[in-house]
Structure 1
Amino acid sequence: MSLDGPIVILVEPQLGENIGMAARAMGNFALSALRIVNPRDGWPNIAAQRAAAGADHILEKVELFDTVEQAVADLDLLLATTARPHDQAKPVVGPEAAASEIAGHIATGGKAGILFGRERWGLTNEEVGLSNRIITFPVNPGFASLNLAQAVLLVGYEWFKQATSGALPHAMPERSERASQHQMQAFFDNLVRELDKVEFLRPAEKRDTMLVNLRNIFTRMEPTKQDMHTLHGVIMAIAEGRKGPAKGGVLDGEQATRLRALLAEHGQGGGVPDSGSTVRGLARLLRRNPTDAERLLWQALTRDRRFAGGFKRQTPVGRHIPDFVSFPHRIAIELVNPGEGETIAADRASRRAWLEARDYRVLEIRAADVERDLEAELVRLQGMIGQSP
C-alpha cells in the first residue's frame, strides 16, 4: 500500500538500530519518506538495515541533511514531537489531532513533516521553534520518555487510521448463514428430549425457568446453520454413547469383543505367556480397545462414589488379565460376552480357579446385563465388597 503521508525527520539520531526500527514502524503504517539530519554514526548504517526487518525500501530512499533548517525548507506544515514543555506560544496537540490536521493539509496539496528529536534529549528550543505545532503524547508524566521508534509508531498509527478511515485489514469470515428459527427450534426440541431422558430438568417447578435460561444461551450466540449442525451432532453423540474406539485404539465395541474371543481361544485355558512385557502389552491393547459393556461399567466404577478409585481395568494379576480388579478388596470382575463358546468358557473357568486360589473373589457379570440394568449389577458388586473376604 502506498499513501501520500507526512515526511518523517529524525534529528541527529545516535543509534543505527533506532533508525532501522523507526523505518520499520513507518512501513507498518504506509509512511515512506524519511529524512535524517546529521546521523551520529554516518550513513549508510548496517545496524539500521538489520533492525529494519524488511523496511529496506524506506532506508534506500533516505534523504540526508546537515541541518534541520535544510531538512524542513520545502515544507509548509511542520510539527515537532516532544515530551517536555518548551514554553512556546504555539498549539500543543495529541497524535490523533495532529494526524487529522496533517491528513487535511495533504489532501489540499500541502506538504507536511514531523520532527523527532535525539534519543537522549530530544529537540532544542530553536528546533521546536521552527514548527507550526507541537505534538506530545498522553503518557505517564513520571516516565514520559519514549523510544524513538515508539514515537514514530504512535504518530504513524494515528495517521494511518485517518488515511484509511480506521478500516481493519480483515474481519471474521461469514462461513455460514445465520440459523433460522425453525432450525433452532428443532435443535432445542431435540436437546430437551435428551435432557428429559436423564431427568436433568428437575425439580418440576423449575422446569420452565430452566428451559428459558437454556434457550437464551443459544439465542444470545446468534448461531449459524453450521453451528446448529455441529451442536446437534454433539447432542446426538452424547446421547447415543461413544461407539468408536477408545483413545489410542482402533476397534469398535463389536470388534473388541471378537478380539477377546480370539485371545481366549489361543490362550487354551492357561492365560497369556509368562513374559512380563507380553502381559503388559496385551493389557494395554485391551484397555485401548474396550467393548461397549466394559466402557459402561468402567465409567460407573470411576464416577460412582461407592467404587471411585477402587478398581483398575485390564491390569495384570500374575499371568492373567481380568477385566476389572480391586487389589484392596481382592475382587476381580469378569464380563461374559454373548455367544461365548466352550473354549472361552474353559479359559474363564481356568482364570477364575487361579484367582480364587490366591484369595481373589470373582464376580461374573453378563455384558447384556450391564447394558440392560447397570445399577442392579453395581448393587451386586457393592454387596460383595461389604462381605468379609
Structure 2
Amino acid sequence: MSGSGTDKSKAKADLTGPVVILVEPQLGENIGMCARAMGNFGLTRLRIVKPRDGWPNVHARRAASGADYILDAVELFETVEQAVAGCSLLFATTARAHDQAKPVRAPEEAAREIFAEVGQGGEVGIMFGRERYGLENDEVALANRIVTFPVNPGFASLNLAQAVLLMGYEWFKLATANALPFAMPERSERASQHQMQAFFDNLVGELDKVEFLRPAEKRDTMLVNLRNIFTRMEPTKQDMHTLHGVVMAIAEGRKGPAKGGVLDGEQATRLRALLAEHGQGALPHESGTVRGLARLLRRNPTDAERIMWQALRTDRRFAGQFKRQTPVGRHIPDFVSFAQRIAIELINPDETDVIRTDRASRQTWLEERGYRVVAIVADEVTGDVGVPLVALEQAMAGAQGASGEGVSRE
C-alpha cells in the first residue's frame, strides 16, 4: 500500500546530501518513483536533463506517493554539462564498462566518498542514465568516479528508481550512523536467576509426574538440555509468568465451565442430563438464571448440537431463522425459530425416565403457546444430518400436521 509506512506526524530527515541527476528520463512514472526513493533516504535535490515527456508531469506526481516536495523543487537543464557544473565530485552510475580510465566504486564505497565530500562542504552529484541505454560515453567522461552495482552479470539492468534507491540507502546509512527508526520495546525486566530456577523446578516436578525424564541414566543430560533451551532465550519476567501459566494449565488439564473452560461432547451430554434431573427451568421471575444456563449450554454443545447448528447456519433453507439454546419463557429448547414458531429438541437415546418426563413437560408447555416441536434423535444428526433436515423442512412447510402438533422422529 502506498505510503503505508509513512508517519506524517514525524519530521522529515534534515540532511545535506548529494544531488540526484536524471539524464533524459523517458517516463514520468520513473521520475516519480525516483523521487519516492529519494524521500525514503533523505535526499531532496533532484535535477533533470531534458525529460522526454516534458515537465511538469502528472504521472510523476502520481508515482511519487507523497514525495511531491521533491518534485516541486526539481531543477531542469538542457544539457548534462549545465546540470553538473557546480559539482566538486561527480559519480556516473552504469552497468556497462565504458573502457575509461576512472576509479570504479561499488555503492558502499561511493557512499563513503560522498559522505566525506559533503561533510567538507563540497557538492556531490550522482548521474543516472536513460531507461533504455543508460549514460553515453561523453557523459560518463564528465564524472570523477564510476559506480556499478554487484548484480547478476547475465541480468544487470536495474530500474531507474532501484538504482537511485540503492545509492540513497548506502548514503543514508552513513549519514544516520546506521540508526534504525525503531527498536523492540523493553516491556519487562529480564528474569532473575531465582525466578528461572523456580520455573524450572516447577517444570521438572510436572515432568516427573508423567515420567518424562527417563530412562534414569539420561535424566541429567535431559535436564541440562532443557535448562539450556530457556537460558538461551534470555526470557523476561513476563515470559516466565507466561511459561509458568502454560505449564500449570497443561498439568491441570481441561478446565470445566465453572473455571471458564469448555467441555467435550461427552461431558456436555452429561451436563444436560444433570440439568434435566435437577430441574433445568427457573421460575418466571428468575430470568437471569435461565439466561445463565442458556449461555452455559451454548458454550458447551454436544457433538449432535454442534453438527446441527452448523447445518442450520449454512443450509439456505434454514440460514438465519434459528437460534440455539435461547430461552423461551423458563425453558431452553436446543434450537428455536421465533418466526416459524418451531422448536427443535435433540434426543439422547440413553435418556432416563426423569429426562424423558422433563422433555415431555417442556414440549407440552411450548405447544400450548403455539410452537411446533420437532424431536430428532441425536444419533441421526451425527450419522447423516441430511435426514433430520428433511423432517425439519416438512415441519416448516406445515406438511406434518396442524399447528400445535408435535413432529417426532423418535
- Relative to the length of structure 1, the TM-score reads 0.69
Please list the CA deviations of residues 15-49 of structure 1 after superposition, one character each: whole Å capped at 9, or x if unmatched: 00000000000000000000000000000000000
TM alignment of 1:291-330, pairs within 5 A: 320-321=347-348
* Corresponding residue number in structure 1 for 2:245: 233
Report the AA paired with residue 114 of structure 1. Answer: I
* Corresponding residue number in structure 2 for 1:347: 355
2:59 pairs with 1:47: yes
Report the AA paired with residue 200 of structure 2. Answer: F
Percent identical across equivalent pairs? Answer: 74
Structure 1 residues 35 and 350 mapped into 2: Cα distance closer, same or farther (>3 Å)? closer
Report the AA paired with residue 354 of structure 2. Answer: A
* Corresponding residue number in structure 2 for 1:213: 225
* Corresponding residue number in structure 2 for 1:223: 235
2:154 pairs with 1:142: yes
SS at match of 2:125: strand
Q: CA deviation at 1:77?
A: 0.7
* Corresponding residue number in structure 1 for 2:300: 289
* Corresponding residue number in structure 2 for 1:65: 77
Q: Determine if contact 2:23/2:80 at 8 Å carries over to the other structure.
A: yes
* Corresponding residue number in structure 1 for 2:41: 29
2:270 pairs with 1:262: no
2:106 pairs with 1:98: no
Q: CA deviation at 1:240?
A: 1.5
Structure 1 residues 249 and 218 mapped into 2: Cα distance closer, same or farther (>3 Å)? closer
Report the AA paired with residue 347 of structure 1. Answer: I
Q: Find the aligned partners of 1:117 and 1:218 in 2 and give their Cα distance.
A: 54
2:181 pairs with 1:169: yes
Please list the CA deviations of residues 331-379 of structure 1 after superposition, one character each: whole Å capped at 9, or x if unmatched: x7x8xxxxxxxxx76338999xxxxxx9x9xxxxxxxxxxxxxxxxxxx
Q: Determine if contact 2:105/2:145 at 8 Å carries over to the other structure.
A: yes
* Corresponding residue number in structure 2 for 1:183: 195
Structure 1 residues 161 and 350 mapped into 2: Cα distance closer, same or farther (>3 Å)? closer
Q: Find the aligned partners of 1:250 and 1:206 in 2 and give their Cα distance.
A: 38
Structure 1 residues 28 and 234 mapped into 2: Cα distance closer, same or farther (>3 Å)? same
SS at match of 2:347: coil
TM alignment of 1:123-142, pairs within 5 A: 123-142=135-154
Structure 1 residues 259 and 91 mapped into 2: Cα distance closer, same or farther (>3 Å)? same
* Corresponding residue number in structure 2 for 1:354: none
5+ unaligned residues in a row in structure 2: which ranges? Answer: 1-12, 282-292, 303-344, 360-376, 380-410
Q: Determine if contact 1:91/1:134 at 8 Å carries over to the other structure.
A: yes
Report the AA paired with residue 43 of structure 1. Answer: W
Structure 1 residues 72 and 134 mapped into 2: Cα distance closer, same or farther (>3 Å)? same
Structure 1 residues 244 and 73 mapped into 2: Cα distance closer, same or farther (>3 Å)? farther
Q: CA deviation at 1:321?
A: 2.0
- Relative to the length of structure 2, the TM-score reads 0.65
SS at match of 2:181: coil
Q: CA deviation at 1:199?
A: 1.4
2:28 pairs with 1:20: no
Q: Name the count of aligned residue pairs.
A: 295
Q: Determine if contact 2:276/2:358 at 8 Å carries over to the other structure.
A: no
Q: Determine if contact 1:267/1:347 at 8 Å carries over to the other structure.
A: no
Report the AA paired with residue 117 of structure 1. Answer: G
Please list the CA deviations of residues 224-277 of structure 1 after superposition, one character each: whole Å capped at 9, or x if unmatched: 11110100011111111232549x987899999765433346699xxxxxxxxx
SS at match of 1:79: strand
5+ unaligned residues in a row in structure 1: which ranges? Answer: 269-281, 292-317, 323-331, 335-343, 352-357, 361-389
Q: Determine if contact 1:245/1:290 at 8 Å carries over to the other structure.
A: no
Q: Determine if contact 2:255/2:261 at 8 Å carries over to the other structure.
A: no
